[in-house]
Structure 1
Amino acid sequence: MALTDILPRALSRRPRPLGERLARMTALARQRRALGDLDPHLLRDIGVSRDEALEEAARLPWDAPAHWHG
């Protein structure tokens, strides 16, 4: 693999700006809170137990899979 093949991918993996990262963490926190607030019948519809929903809702905003940070 030539350097010209690697360089565009390396440049596309630059860290995201701080504002964008904060916006993503805020959105993730909001989504997790909403999951924790869902009614039991809605949780059943998506195949998530109440305990799983509450566990996910309690996670910190920066506790996300690495590929989400891209």
Structure 2
Amino acid sequence: MSHAINPAQLALLNGQTVLPKAAQVCVSLAVMLTIWDLRHRTRKHLRKLDPAQLRDIGLTATAARREAAKPFYQP
């Protein structure tokens, strides 16, 4: 079962302005860490796709390798 939060939920959480400043910082940090984790897991799975699966999602092997090689903090 996936416990991933979707981008719309992240944007909603990150856009809360009625929170105290310390809570805003904590929410922003949690959102950033969640995004980093999502990128890491996505790129990890991208490395495991075979050429047929890459074609199905419209990526070349070169583009997939380039994306998978990016660090988690880089969009």
TM over 0.5: yes
Larger Rg: 1
Deviation at 1:13, TM superposition (A): 8.1
Query: Following superposition of structure 1 onto structure 2, how do residues 13-52 of structure 1 map, counting pairs within 5 Å?
Result: 17-52=28-63
Identity %: 32
Please give the TM-score of this superposition, normalised by the length of structure 1: 0.63
User: What letter is aligned with 1:60?
Assistant: P
Q: Which runs of 4+ in 1 moved over 6 A?
A: none
Aligned length: 53
Deviation at 1:38, TM superposition (A): 0.4
The structure in which a higher percent of residues are helix is 1
**CA contact under 8 A between 1:36 and 1:56: conserved in structure 2?**
no
Gaps of 5+ in 2: 1-14, 18-24
RMSD over aligned Cα, in angstroms?
Answer: 1.9
Relative to structure 1, is the Cα distance of residues 13 and 51 closer, same or farther in structure 2, using a 3 angstrom cutoff?
Answer: farther
**Higher relative contact order structure (alpha carbons within 8 Å, sequence separation ≥ 6):** 1
Q: Alignment partner of 1:17: what SS?
A: helix
1:8 aligns with none
